[in-house]
């Protein structure tokens, strides 16, 4: 591929908003240049979703706090940069997480603010002292039950599960090492030691996924949707943006409204525990303009999940998996645009293949071997593309791998798409939870489709080959030079059907016809 063709796939959305440091990173890190700003290996699955929803729900105009909230929009520029204004929830985090956080990073000022805050909350509760203490502990236990990420962190870097708008919070880091030799006694003295711009955990991956969907709704280039594998999506495009915005808004504002309301009461009571009087802006990065195709698949799948009658926590679990799958899909889509060393794939615009196997497939079985070969070829592609001469402007690849190549296997293992976690024979697989996800994402609520059509959709969206013609295409892509498709076509997919049946998704009309149904 020529440099001119490559540059076409590197065009950015949005085209403004980069400062000099971002431009420098763009030139010295081929992964950022290729995939956007940015995917990073240390971001956890729940933080991809939390950051995505945080950008979606936040104001995107400094002067009007509610402008562009709950919208897929860039909003207005500040200093020629697109940005948003997220809440930090520092008071709520202190109240909920301080007592269980990393002991050595609990500063005496934090402790004093925490104890004072407990007294403020108790003063607003009626009853005896014992009843007040029990009520406070109950509220703390309730909020603590919705922790998304804790690990070995200090309290302010904990993340909530994004079950309600009131739990959406930007990343804050406590600069513990800088306070060790300082005499700090009051909350006002420690405000400058909270950093809001490190992106260590909320590492921009959720921002990137958000920008993909904004890019989708800004462009109209979807000619590929007329291909027979994608024709069923055309009717769903009508009013997709307002429908998706409303669904996400309702999920965040209504499904857990009482929980969010309780959080707001605690924050109001602890109003003196804050870092700034005004919300600090966060700059948005960029995505490749060419990402609108995978963004359309992403938005359609999100729409199916949001329209289901599942509870809020079940939806969040599926959306978290969806965000992870979208990261993996985005890496492969963009890599294949640049690297043309692999074959094309009939029935899938991504032009790559993930061959999956039964988690219990025996060592040495043909399908297990194909799943291993498929993973090897995907990882070779992702590694090779970072060194493409039209992409790389540096020989410093170690940092680039953290933003590209290494992410794929890490996330794939975290969601169970790749097994085992360690050792040889690593391969693609589908466990019961991932099959449930594929039904929820690819089959509309209460829709029924033939099992063969379900296989076709799974391949058309993710390049996952489950059986039949899709496995024949996969065999070609994985390098079968003999062109012998007999194994692929006759491969036993009974394990998929059994898993679908156990999940209540398979309806057998006859020996020859089975339907996949999303009960909604």
Average pLDDT over residues 245-256: 92
C-alpha distances out from residue 252 to 29, 50, 94, 242, 299, Å: 36, 11, 22, 15, 17
Percent of the chain with pLDDT over 70: 93
Check residue 84 and give its pLDDT: 94
Reduced 3-state DSSP string for 346-385: CCCCCCCCEECECCCCCCCCHHHHHHHHHHHHHHHHHHHH
How far is residue 264's CA from residue 95's CA, in Å, rounded to a whole number? 12
How far is residue 174's CA from residue 180's CA, in Å, rounded to a whole number? 12
Instruction: Specify whether the CB–CB gap between 393 and 31 falls below 8 A.
Output: no
Instruction: Write b or e for each residue in 194-221: b if 16 or more Cβ atoms lie within 10 A of its Cβ, otherwise e.
Output: eebeebebbbbbbbbbbbbbbbbbebee
Nearest to 330 by CA among 298, 304, 302: 298
Q: What is the pLDDT of residues 361-420, one digit of tens each?
A: 888 888 899 999 999 999 999 999 999 888 876 666 788 888 888 999 999 999 999 999
Check residue 480 and give its pLDDT: 64
Instruction: Specify whether the CB–CB gap between 355 and 474 falls below 8 A.
Output: yes
Look at the alpha carbons of 116, 121, 124, 130 in this order and tell me if their dihedral is positive or negative: negative
Beta bridge partners of 419: 427
How far is residue 473's CA from residue 110's CA, in Å, rounded to a whole number? 59
How far is residue 265's CA from residue 92's CA, in Å, rounded to a whole number? 10
How far is residue 293's CA from residue 506's CA, in Å, rounded to a whole number? 29
Nearest to 518 by CA among 404, 427, 440: 440
Q: Which residue has the higher pLDDT, 2 or 291?
A: 291
500 pLDDT above the threshold of 70: yes
Nearest to 10 by CA among 214, 386, 291: 291
95 pLDDT above the threshold of 70: yes
Query: Beta 448-450 vs 427-428: how paired, if at all?
Result: unpaired
18 pLDDT above the threshold of 60: no
19 pLDDT above the threshold of 60: no
Whether the model clears a pTM of 0.85, i.e. scores above it, the answer is yes
The model's confidence at residue 20, banded by pLDDT at 50, 70 and 90, is very low
Instruction: Specify whether the CB–CB gap between 351 and 342 falls below 8 A.
Output: yes
Instruction: Specify whether the CB–CB gap between 338 and 11 falls below 8 A.
Output: no
26 pLDDT above the threshold of 90: no
Q: What is the pLDDT of residues 425-482, one digit of tens each?
A: 999 999 999 999 999 999 999 999 999 999 999 999 999 999 888 998 998 998 864 4
How far is residue 121's CA from residue 114's CA, in Å, rounded to a whole number? 11
Q: How many Cβ atoms are within 10 Å of 239's Cβ, its own excluded?
A: 9
Q: What is the pLDDT of residues 323-361, one digit of tens each?
A: 999 999 999 999 999 998 899 999 999 999 999 999 998
Domain spans in the chain, listed from the N-terminal domain onward = 354-387+416-517
C-alpha distances out from residue 299 to 213, 222, 278, Å: 7, 13, 33
Contacts of 135 (CB under 8 A, 6+ apart): 122, 125, 127
Q: What 3-state class would DSSP assign to 174?
A: strand
């Amino acid at each position: 591929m020529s440099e001119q063709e490559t540059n076409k796939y590197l065009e950015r959305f949005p085209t403004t908003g980069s400062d000099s440091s971002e431009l420098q990173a763009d030139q010295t890190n081929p992964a950022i240049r290729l995939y956007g700003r940015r995917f990073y290996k240390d971001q956890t699955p729940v933080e991809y979703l939390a950051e995505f929803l945080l950008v979606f729900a936040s104001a995107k105009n400094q002067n009007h706090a509610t402008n562009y909230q709950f919208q897929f929009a860039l909003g207005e520029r500040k200093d020629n940069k697109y940005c948003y204004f997220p809440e930090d929830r520092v008071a709520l985090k202190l109240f909920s997480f301080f007592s269980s956080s990393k002991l050595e990073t609990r500063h005496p000022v934090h402790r004093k603010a925490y104890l004072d805050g407990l007294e403020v909350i108790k003063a607003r509760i009626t009853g005896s002292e014992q009843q007040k203490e029990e009520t406070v502990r109950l509220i703390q236990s309730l909020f603590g039950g919705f922790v998304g990420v804790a690990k070995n962190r200090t309290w302010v870097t904990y993340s909530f599960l994004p079950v309600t708008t009131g739990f959406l919070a930007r990343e804050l880091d406590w600069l513990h090492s800088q306070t060790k030799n300082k005499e700090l006694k009051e909350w006002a003295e420690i405000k400058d030691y909270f950093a809001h711009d490190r992106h260590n955990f909320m590492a921009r991956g959720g921002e990137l996924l958000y920008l993909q969907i904004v890019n989708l709704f800004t462009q109209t280039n979807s000619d590929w949707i007329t291909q027979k594998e994608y024709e069923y999506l055309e009717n769903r495009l009508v009013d997709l943006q307002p429908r998706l915005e409303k669904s996400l808004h309702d999920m965040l504002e209504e499904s857990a409204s009482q929980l969010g309301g309780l959080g707001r009461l605690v924050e109001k009571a602890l109003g003196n525990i804050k870092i700034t009087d005004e919300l600090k802006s966060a700059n948005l990065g960029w995505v490749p303009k060419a990402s609108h195709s995978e963004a359309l698949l992403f938005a359609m799948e999100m729409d199916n999940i949001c329209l289901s009658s599942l509870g809020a926590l079940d939806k969040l679990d599926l959306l978290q998996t969806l965000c992870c799958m979208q990261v993996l899909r985005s890496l492969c889509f963009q890599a294949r645009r640049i690297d043309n060393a692999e074959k094309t794939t009939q029935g899938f615009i991504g032009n790559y293949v993930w061959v999956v196997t039964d988690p219990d497939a025996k060592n040495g079985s043909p399908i297990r071997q194909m799943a291993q070969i498929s993973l090897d070829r995907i990882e070779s592609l992702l590694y090779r593309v970072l060194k493409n001469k039209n992409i790389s402007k540096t020989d410093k690849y170690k940092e680039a791998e953290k933003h590209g190549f290494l992410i794929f296997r890490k996330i794939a293992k975290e969601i169970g798409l790749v097994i085992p976690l360690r050792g040889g024979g690593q391969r693609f697989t589908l466990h019961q939870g991932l099959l449930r996800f594929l039904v929820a994402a690819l089959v509309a609520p209460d829709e029924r489709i033939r099992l063969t059509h379900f296989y076709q959709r799974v391949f058309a969206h993710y390049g996952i080959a489950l059986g039949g013609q899709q496995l024949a295409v996969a065999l070609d892509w994985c390098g079968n030079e003999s062109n012998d498709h007999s194994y692929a076509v006759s491969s036993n997919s009974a394990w998929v059907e059994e898993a679908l049946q156990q999940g209540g998704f398979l309806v057998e009309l006859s020996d020859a016809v089975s339907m996949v149904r999303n009960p909604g």
